[in-house]
Amino acid sequence: MAVLFVEHTAMKEEQSVYDRCGSKKMYLNLAVKTLKKLRDHGRKPSNSKSSSGAGSMKSEDENGSVLYELLKNYLLTEEQLKENNFPRPNPEKNGHAILSGVLRNTVYDGKCLLDCNKIQFQSVVHRTVIYISIKLYITSLLNFQLFFLAVPGGMEKRYSCCDRAVGSDGCQIAKLHVHDGKKKKLEGFMKTLIKSPPVDGNYGVYALDCETCYTTHGLELIRVAVVNAKLQVVYDTFVKPDGKIVDYDKRLSGVTENDLKNTTTSLRGVQAILLNLFSADTILIGHSLEDGLFALKLIHDRVVDTSVVFPHRQGLPHKRQLTSLVADYLRKIRQDDVCGHNSREDAIACMELMLWKVKEDNKRRKW
């Protein structure tokens, strides 16, 4: 962030010189003098006052303010928040949310092996998320994309979750059917609060990531991690869900039964801490953060979403995976498939991506 602050200051100085000049010769003379002044300022020995804690804090505050202002360029609009299915306040019901976006394309798949005479039954399906509707019969609505792949002799339709041909055996096996419960869990939402403006105008910048698992109530929060702009973890906790856990979905969540064994933290407890840490003007960064905010039951307006900043070439509902973005832009390889996601690592990755993006765009910006 110190680099961003220096670049920001230098560009402002250059713009000031340019605005005051009426000719190229005058611009060059003033530019040389300004450059000399900046260099001399950088060489000044620090006295006891400037090297004190107060002096260091001022520098950090200035850097944080610059980053906060620069990140405003990437905030989602209200239209984008709705389009990406972020929870928005329900004007007719206090404490309730509404979802305005279009759910990801869903299709039916009949490959469920059911034995309704047993309490537990096996489901062998293609899925990323499974929805269930219980009436007279049990059916499953599966959330995955179908795409066409060029093969010898023509085009073949395949599942996006496993790249197998349509009609093949399922790629996921679960003991029980599960559902996300989004349509029924629109109550109990809290909106981040408006707070007194800080002196430097920096309301804070944080990246967060959540992990969920399937319970009898649907998808519920089981872990949340928050990091600041220095990539320091300021909050990380496992969370005890309200419903009985049906599937930890460890391949995605990275959370095991042992992780939650002695956990007593509730969703309400997490909300209380985050509402104290954040304000309505805090900038929150995340990847497909609509899912995290829904799990947290938080409504927040100032969001920077890396899935939108770095969009999929085919547009919505397609979104690039965080691991893909990290590999392409940060040149880092992650091993999510081995031990599942890690909330800390995902939050840090989102912050790093936006620090990289701000720095790169700042190089090309004309002041």
Q: For 54-76, what is the mean pLDDT?
A: 77
Q: What is the pLDDT of residues 132-156, one digit of tens each?
A: 333 323 333 344 455 566 667 777 7
Q: What is the pLDDT of residues 25-49, one digit of tens each?
A: 565 666 666 666 666 655 544 444 4
User: Which of the listed residues 160, 184, 208 is the one where a domain comes to its end?
Assistant: 184
Q: Report pLDDT for 185.
A: 78
Regarding whether 169 and 316 lie in a shared domain, the answer is: no
Given pLDDT bands bounded at 50, 70 and 90, which one contains residue 315?
confident
The larger pLDDT score, comparing residue 340 to residue 324, is at 324
Q: For 258-279, what is the mean pLDDT?
A: 95
Regarding whether 351 and 245 lie in a shared domain, the answer is: yes
Q: Report pLDDT for 335.
A: 56
159 beta partners: 146
Regarding whether 215 and 169 lie in a shared domain, the answer is: no
The residue type of 8 is H
Pairing of strands 218-228, 205-215: antiparallel
Q: Report pLDDT for 196.
A: 94
Instruction: Please report, for residues 290, 298, 322, the alpha-carbon distance to residue 92 in angstroms, rounded to integers and kept in the order given.
Output: 21, 17, 36
Least reliable range by pLDDT among 3-17, 158-172, 208-222, 252-266: 3-17
The two tokens of residue 312 are 């999929």
Distance CA 46, CA 173 (A): 64
* Full residue range of the structural domain in which residue 127 is found: 107-184
Regarding whether 232 and 117 lie in a shared domain, the answer is: no
Chain centroid offset of residue 293 CA: 9
Q: Report pLDDT for 254.
A: 75
Distance CA 289, CA 284 (A): 9
User: Which of the listed residues 130, 153, 184 is the one where a domain comes to its end?
Assistant: 184
Regarding whether 274 and 158 lie in a shared domain, the answer is: no
Tell me the average pLDDT of the chain: 76
Look at residues 300, 309, 305, 241 and name the one whose alpha carbon lies nearest to residue 269: 241
Provide the 8-state DSSP code for 301: S
Task: Please give the tally of structural domains in the chain.
Answer: 2
Q: For 106-134, what is the mean pLDDT?
A: 38
The larger pLDDT score, comparing residue 41 to residue 269, is at 269
pLDDT of 60 over the 80 cut: no
Provide the 8-state DSSP code for 74: G
The two tokens of residue 341 are 């996601």
